[in-house]
Structure 1
């Protein structure tokens, strides 16, 4: 007989894996992508990276970390993936060699990584990050953030609309572009 069936519930829908950011490799052999799973009972989520061959015959999970791993980008030679991970607390760029080994951190941007792209020559990452307008570097912006956190007042003076974007306070920060060497190193702000 048929197994007893039950109606699809909200929890079933919510806990289904959500695929994101499919990226085809430059050599056309692979697709890297993310899957996020939500756990309603534990009120948390986990996002990891996966790899599938373009013929669909090979499929494997690449990351197995409880932090969020997302937004994969391929190296020009199709041998490495860079991605954003929150493994060390803030969103940073990590690199994974597909021939084996653990993912290694590339960036240490004090304001975190919102989005990034990899240069065609593989030497640099351009990164979007949120910084205070008068801060020259991400580190200077993070220092300002720490100073503001010491303030005992929690009120806000709202003198313009839109005073917040969806569910996030920008606190007067702007999106800026910084460039980071792919081999690791200091982030340089390239936009005012």
Structure 2
């Protein structure tokens, strides 16, 4: 997917299928519906979208809403290297979060403010870094591979991430990708997936017992769920090309980006693979949905 000047749109989704949710969660995603500027909208799928802000200063791709819904962290490709920035939902202000001459991305944050992100600041290839509540930073990985897409478990005790592993018959690091879990207390890394293709962009179930991710082989990608111990892997999508899954905070839905005829849209689906629904319907690109808590 290309990094484009984008809209950010927040779409309220009815939990358990309700058109007016009792739990105020929304979806945030990017779109190039107006390529001249990046704008932010909020809609309940019934009324006209509400514009939150618009600016030509950023190229947004990769979102990480805070658990309290007060901030949206995003990856900005406007400069020579990607940086992490913070959007304040209440004030509308945008500020630097991690902005250096290196490539930063793939971040997540716990409720109490611990941060995980990937960067190539100490290595040619991106590695995983952890910042605790005291602001002390630790490099989690150190190898010859590429790390990306780090996510905290709901209790903040583990980090799941994707590692691009060189294919046996090629020097292309994008040939194979597997998921790994790092235990912050034990300081132990465990391989979660071991299958053909490229497994990436993981996210945890709200109870921390399962991980959802997209797995790609020649011909396309689909959404999979696996138990935290590496058992019980199952595929929940079967049509089109499906990527970037994100589990809803109540555990009822998984949002993902689906591509059909080169058109990307946001879909939601039940964890058992039922009730798939198309959320966006414009002729433009709509991608990388993330759930966020409403604070209005």
The one of 181, 184, 188 equivalent to 1:54 is 184
CA contact (8 A) 1:123 1:183 kept: no
Q: Distance in 2 between matches of 1:17 and 1:49?
A: 13
The one of 93, 97, 109 equivalent to 2:223 is 93
For residues 59-98 of structure 1, the aligned pairs below 5 Å read 59-86=189-216, 89-98=219-228
Whether 2:253 is the aligned partner of 1:189: answer no
Residues 175 and 34 of structure 1: CA distance in aligned 2, closer, same or farther (over 3 Å): same
Bigger Rg over Cα: 1
Shift of 1:63: 0.8
Shift of 1:87: 5.3
For residues 9-158 of structure 1, the aligned pairs below 5 Å read 16-39=144-167, 42-44=170-172, 45-86=175-216, 89-108=219-238, 110-132=239-261
CA contact (8 A) 2:245 2:254 kept: yes
Equivalent pairs counted in the alignment come to 139
More helix by share: 1
More strand by share: 2
CA contact (8 A) 1:107 1:185 kept: no
Q: Distance in 2 between matches of 1:130 and 1:39?
A: 26
Shift of 1:42: 2.4
The one of 263, 270, 279 equivalent to 1:174 is 263
Q: Distance in 1 between matches of 2:207 and 2:181?
A: 16
Shift of 1:90: 2.4
Shift of 1:103: 1.3
Give the SS at the match of 1:114: strand
Shift of 1:100: 4.8
Q: Distance in 1 between matches of 2:168 and 2:144?
A: 11
Residues 80 and 41 of structure 1: CA distance in aligned 2, closer, same or farther (over 3 Å): closer
Gaps of 5+ in 2: 1-123, 126-142, 282-296
TM-score, normalised to structure 1's length?
0.64
CA contact (8 A) 1:33 1:51 kept: yes
Shift of 1:93: 1.0
Q: Distance in 1 between matches of 2:167 and 2:182?
A: 25
